[in-house]
Structure 1
Amino acid sequence: MGPNGETVGIVPTDQALKLAQEADLDLVEIAPMGKPPVCKLMDYGKFKYENAQKAREARRNQTNVIIKEMKLRPKIDAHDYETKKGHVVRFLKAGDKVKITIMFRGREQHRPELGYRLLQKLAEDVQELGFVESNPKQDGRNMTMVIGPHKKKAEAKAEVKAAKEERRAEREAEAALDAAAQAERVAQKPAAQKKERGRSENLDPEIDA
């Protein structure tokens, strides 16, 4: 193959090397198992550099799937449920999957419907942030369900970063307003002191006499 992907045809190795030398290129074997093997005329240094760039870009865009786990009891009280739900919401907002595990003890194992209803309620409560990726299933003494986030990890990170930048800008604006107010108070203080001194001089008995 030529440098632009065109087909040169089957040629002896020494002739292929001569073609590469004349074009100031390298002869690179790209399909050694082919019959005959396939080679291409190319700038091998440039080829390696571009491949390294592509690999770095792929790693940068790669999203690491993280599965968080939240454990609940089938008869969990309202306060604890809200706390656990808050954690699930935080995980989903961060772009992470969440594995919900309902732990049964003793006679609770004979009431799987309690766990199923609880998982169903949790899925409904967080449906704006995530979806049921793996339906509830019994696993020994436990019942599990996986909720996946609607937003990808990269999108969630971008939103968190934007929110942090917005909060930082608000703090800087508040600090600037506080500094301006402090400067105004400092500027007004000498004028007030001067006015007070003038009032004291007018009240001096010797001057009034």
Structure 2
Amino acid sequence: MARRYNRNFQRKNDPKDQYRTNEQIRVPEVRLVGDNLGALSDTVGQTIESDIYPTRRVREWAERMGLDVVEIAATAKPPVVRIIDYNKFLYEKKKKEKEIKAKAAKTVVKEIRFGPNTDDHDFEFKLRHARGFLEDGAKVKAYVHFRGRTIVFKDRGELLLLRFLKELEDVGAAEALPKMEGRRMIVIISPKKAKKS
């Protein structure tokens, strides 16, 4: 069965719907703010300061400058607006959010799985990988998975993880001692040094 497409449907998270602009602002008065009030005063031919004005007049000023009236604080009494290029405003806002997101530390967790009967060669191989992950600034979640009857070897699993922690103590530190979660014994290791740049 074919779905009907609703032409009036708009995405809720569309950034263009975040702020009311121009004719969407239906209150009688607004508080005008901004750093371009000097240029606005020159265009309009009168001194305009950060103050309360009739909405209709603010829209007229914006039209003269070829800009938009954008409501930046809808809950204020009266609402706060700026006369700006709306598309440029959205672009700058998106750019700032991207920069903030890029600066935020991204925690990467790498998993390393052991069995209770892991041999020395396999242990050394996984140890080298874990060391590399920690040196790159990632956390390591190491766990021993007990399948079937191997659950009786919990002490082996704990000794294996403690040995793993001991080998990595120069590059990482355990957040807590190994603990059982279902059929797994888990330990999380955080890097000691900051990520290499």
1:77 aligns with 2:108: no
1:16 aligns with 2:72: no
Task: Provide the alpha-carbon RMSD of the alignment.
Answer: 3.2
Structure ranking higher in helix proportion? 1
User: What is the identity, as a one-letter code, of the residue corresponding to 1:3?
Assistant: G
Output aligned runs, 1:10-89, within 5 Å: 10-20=52-62, 26-61=68-103, 64-89=106-131
Q: TM-score, normalised by structure 1?
A: 0.58
User: What is the identity, as a one-letter code, of the residue corresponding to 1:48?
Assistant: L
Render the CA deviation track for 1:126-173: whole Å, top value 9, x for unaligned: 122222235422122211112222345xx33x2xxxxxxxxxxxxxxx
Distance 1:39 1:134, change over 3 A: farther
Render the CA deviation track for 1:109-135: whole Å, top value 9, x for unaligned: 234333223222212211222222354
Gaps of 5+ in 2: 1-31, 38-48
**Distance in 1 of aligned mates of 2:144 and 2:86:** 57
Q: TM-score, normalised by structure 2?
A: 0.61
**Distance in 1 of aligned mates of 2:102 and 2:177:** 32
Render the CA deviation track for 1:51-76: whole Å, top value 9, x for unaligned: 23323434544554432221112343
Output aligned runs, 1:31-180, within 5 Å: 31-61=73-103, 64-105=106-147, 108-133=150-175, 135-152=177-194, 155-156=195-196, 158=197
1:2 aligns with 2:4: no
Distance 1:46 1:114, change over 3 A: same
SS in 1 for 2:111: strand
Gaps of 5+ in 1: 159-209
Render the CA deviation track for 1:40-61: whole Å, top value 9, x for unaligned: 2334354234223323434544
Render the CA deviation track for 1:59-103: whole Å, top value 9, x for unaligned: 544554432221112343333222221121122223222211112
Distance 1:126 1:48, change over 3 A: same
Q: Which residue of 2 aligns with 1:169?
A: none
What is the percentage of aligned positions where both structures have the same residue?
35
User: What is the identity, as a one-letter code, of the residue corresponding to 2:142?
Assistant: I
- Greater CA drift, 93-102 or 29-38: 29-38
User: What is the identity, as a one-letter code, of the residue corresponding to 2:132?
Assistant: R
Confirm or deny: 8 A CA contact 2:34 2:50 kept in the other structure.
Answer: no
**Distance in 1 of aligned mates of 2:74 and 2:82:** 11
